[in-house]
Amino acid sequence: MTVDETRILVPCGALGSGVRADEVDAGLALAPHAIALDAGSTDSGPAYLATGKSKYSREAVKRDLAILMRAGQTAGIPLLIGSCGTSGCDMAVDWTLDIVLELARAQGDTPRIAVLYAEQDKAALSAKAAAGAVRALSPAGPLDDAALGPCGHIVALLGPEPYIAAVEAGADIVLGGRTTDTAVLAAVALMRGGAPGAAWHAAKIAECGGLCTVNPTSPGVMMSVDGEGFSIAPLSPTNHCTPYTVSAHMLYENSDPFRLVEPGGVLDVTDARYAALDERTVRVTGSRWEPMPYTMKLEGAGGGPFQTMMFVGIEDPEVLADVDGFVGRMDYALRRRLARTLPEQAAQIDVSLRPYGWNAVSGRPPPPGAPPPREIGLMFVATAPTQALATEAAKVCNPFFFHFPVREGKELPSYAFPFSPAEIERGQVFEFHLNHVVATDSPFELVRTKWVETAARARASADA
Amino acid sequence: MPRLREVCRYVRSKNAGPFWITVDLFFDGPGSYALYADDPAIGAAAVAQLYGVDAGQVKRFKVDALNVVKLSFPRLKPQGGALERDMHGGQQFVPLLDLDLA
């Protein structure tokens, strides 16, 4: 049986990063079956999941959504967005829904919207763990109260099944909570009978949009999946995919370049073959999908201590001749000053000095004989249980940090503070706490689907 | 006895989820790849020592079609904690550049 080709328009690597309307138009001319993209990741750190706030600005997301909603409506094809609002927790999904509804009203659209929630309840997860359904991934401990307790939000990464169910039920727009990057792109191709290995592999290659092309600043790609394999090409007529750029993308942000664990199986590309179909398009065959018992990965993050920082610039050659000695002496002096001035709280305060321009990035000793830098930026970071205490620590350290002599007995120098006041309240530290997978009875067990019928809403508000 | 940077056209590092760092060594051609991909200086034990992790946790892959060696290892602390210096792990490749190969 021949499987019809499924074309998925992937307009960019992340909603809000800048969709190009001309590329989307070029893609629509090829009659895609869906527009799909991802709007989030843990890539930028734990703050977005811990707080539920989006990394991209509301206006940037709104601009991209306006282009994509109009494109979906014009072509009469569904728009699928995974990991809404960066973290894909419930408030991030609702933040995205709010923008979609605002645009629908402004554009006079009445889309049927399916909203897929992926946020998880701690008690329910504890029960799953007690039942032996949760497995820790290296490096992590068991899913106990110590791991769950500090999490502000916990999400389970959705697979493609809830997207497929939503599209089959007639959704024009599907807004998903946290989802694997690949699942949201693979969904419609799987729904239409595309080979699972090809659909998942195509989705992995397309997940960062233009990163699999020779010109990654051109963000859109089209993935076309059939019964034997898939092909991929950039949306821009001036950009190209080559077997090298496509196969090399399997390396990107993956700890394993051959096998990718997904909900319900493993994608294995060990035997995949990459061939140029024409000068812009690459054809891939030989990707395998190994079905496995259904599991979903968990992500959780929460707030920790608070930080206050200070920063000085130093050009004094006497300091720069021995940066390590200078920073070491200052570190000792600051700790002693804190112990004497804040004796009750000093044990709760951490001070970190990082000389940018010398070895702040790695924290490793520079190679022996490294020449003195021309200048350094010395960063001071105080970490404490409260913002007030972190700032108190910075203020206690301020005169030493500003005037620390190159050696004892020398006149007091003044280093170059760029700001007043000198201390900057950086806010809370956020941390990832979970690295676990949970086995589920079905792909829908941990997902909640809500339908938003904008036509009914519009009628209700017209009647009112 | 070349240094790694002399036989690679590109070396990069990146976070692979919040708990892992992955490094890609793009050798400058099949010749260098054949000569140096299995060099002990970029073997699991040496990499583990360089980054302060357990050798059993270093994953090492050879991607022959791309002349690439990929090294993945757990972070000592999850991404983004109080003492984070490299949120995306994008500079973690640098200590490898000057390794001497046999």
What is the ipTM, given to two decimal places? 0.93
| pLDDT tens digit sequence for A354-389 | 999 999 999 999 988 999 999 999 999 999 999 999
Q: What is the pLDDT of residue A426?
A: 97
Q: What angle do CA A170, A174, A180 make, to 5 degrees?
A: 130
pLDDT digits (tens, 9 = 90+) for A388-403: 999 999 999 999 999 9
pLDDT tens per residue across span A201-215: 999 999 999 999 999
Q: From CA B73, how far away is CA A391, in angstroms rounded?
A: 36
Name the residue among A264, A185, A196 with its Cα closest to residue A444: A264
- Of the candidates A54, A51, A43, A122, the one whose C-alpha atom is nearest the C-alpha of residue A85 is A54
| pLDDT, tens digit, 9 for 90 and up, residues A108-140 | 999 999 999 999 999 999 999 999 999 999 778
Query: What's the confidence (pLDDT) of residue A321?
Result: 96
Q: How far apart are CA A100 and CA A65, in angstroms?
A: 7
- Average pLDDT for A404-416: 90
Structure tokens at A375: 């200048």
The residue-averaged pLDDT of A96-112 equals 96
pLDDT band at A411 (very low <50, low <70, confident <90, very high): confident
Cβ of A432 within 8 Å of Cβ of B82? The answer is: no
pLDDT (0 to 100) of residue A311: 97
The answer to whether the Cβ–Cβ distance between A431 and B78 falls below 8 Å is yes
- Inter-chain contact B57–A43, Cβ cutoff 8 Å? no
- Relative to beta strand A221-225, strand A79-86 is unpaired
Q: Does the structure show a pLDDT above 90 at A460?
A: no
CA B65 to chain A, closest CA, distance in angstroms equals 9
Q: What is the pLDDT of residue A462?
A: 75
For A444, which DSSP code? Answer: T
Contact between residue A213 and residue A155 where contact means Cβ atoms under 8 Å apart: no
Residue A455 pLDDT level (bands cut at 50, 70, 90): confident
Work out whether strand A259-262 and strand A265-268 pair parallel, antiparallel, or are unpaired.
antiparallel
* B22 vs A contacts (CB less than 8 Å): 251, 253-255
Angstrom distance (rounded) from CA A263 to CA A161:
10
Of A45, A431, A433, which is closest to B87 when you measure between CB atoms? A45
Are A224 and A230 spatial neighbours (Cβ–Cβ below 8 Å)? yes
Tokens of A119: 């946020």
Share above pLDDT 90 across residues of chain B, in percent, rounded to a whole number: 93
User: What mean pLDDT is reported for chain B?
Assistant: 95
CA of A21: how far to CAs of A17, A67, A115, A358, in Å? Answer: 13, 6, 25, 44
Residues of A in contact with B86 (CB under 8 A): 361-362
**pLDDT above 60 (res A5):** yes
pLDDT of the residue at A402 = 94
Using alpha carbons, select from A447, A314, A317, A457 the residue that is nearest to residue A376. Answer: A314
pLDDT reading at A464 higher than 70? no
State the pTM of this model.
Answer: 0.94
Residue A345 has pLDDT above 80, yes or no: yes
Average pLDDT over residues A29-38: 98
User: In the predicted model, is pLDDT for residue A463 greater than 80?
Assistant: no
Do B83 and A352 count as a contact with CB atoms less than 8 A apart? yes
The pLDDT of residue A256 is above 90? yes
Looking at the predicted structure, is the pLDDT value of residue A221 above 60? yes
A307 contacts in chain B (CB < 8 Å)? 82
Cβ–Cβ contact A362 with B under 8 A: yes
**A42 contacts in B (CB within 8 Å)?**
17-18, 79
- Give the pairing type, strands B68-74 and B59-63: antiparallel
More confident: A412 or A313? A313
* Burial class for B17, CB neighbours closer than 10 Å (0-12, 13-18, 19+): buried
Angle at the Cα of A461 from the Cα atoms of A455 and A464, rounded to 5 degrees: 140
Whole-number pLDDT of residue A457: 76
- How would residue A84 be classed by pLDDT, with cut points 50, 70 and 90? very high
Q: Is A179 helix (H, G, I), strand (E, B) or coil?
A: strand
pLDDT for residue A370:
93
**Cα(A325)–Cα(A353) distance, rounded to whole angstroms?**
12
The first and second tokens of residue A15, run together, are 């909603």
Structure tokens at A141: 């401990």
How confident is the model over A407-415, as a mean pLDDT? Answer: 89
What average pLDDT score do residues A190-208 get?
A: 97
Q: Name the CA dihedral angle for A53, A56, A57, A60, rounded to a multiple of 10 degrees.
A: -140
Per-residue model confidence (pLDDT) at position A352: 97
pLDDT digits (tens, 9 = 90+) for A287-318: 999 999 999 999 999 999 999 999 999 999 99
Q: What token pair was written down for A192?
A: 């239409």
Q: Which of B79, B92, B93 to mutate to test the interface with A (most CBs of A within 10 A)?
A: B79
Q: Which of A114, A210, A215, A214 is nearest to A223 (CA)?
A: A210
Name A34's bridge partners.
Answer: A8
Q: What was the pLDDT predicted at B102?
A: 85
Any CB–CB contact under 8 A between A364 and chain B? Answer: yes
Concatenated DSSP letters for A221-280? EEEEE-SSEEEEEESSTT----HHHHHHGGGTT-S-SSEEEETTEEEE-TT-EEEESSSS
Segments of A292-363 assigned E as strands: 295-314, 350-356
Q: Are the beta carbons of A307 and B82 separated by less than 8 Å?
A: yes
Quick one: average pLDDT of B21-42? 96
Q: Is the pLDDT of residue A1 over 60?
A: no
Residue among A369, A363, A368, A371 nearest A327 (CA): A363
CB A187 within 8 A of CB A164: yes
Rounded to an integer, what distance in angstroms lies between the CA atom of residue A268 and that of residue A358? 43
Is A17's pLDDT higher than 60?
yes
Q: How confident is the model at residue A104 (pLDDT cuts 50, 70, 90)?
A: very high
pLDDT level of residue A266 (50, 70, 90 thresholds): very high
Q: How confident is the model at residue A190 (pLDDT cuts 50, 70, 90)?
A: very high
Question: Of A20, A7, A94, A108, which is closest to residue A58 (Cα–Cα)?
Answer: A94
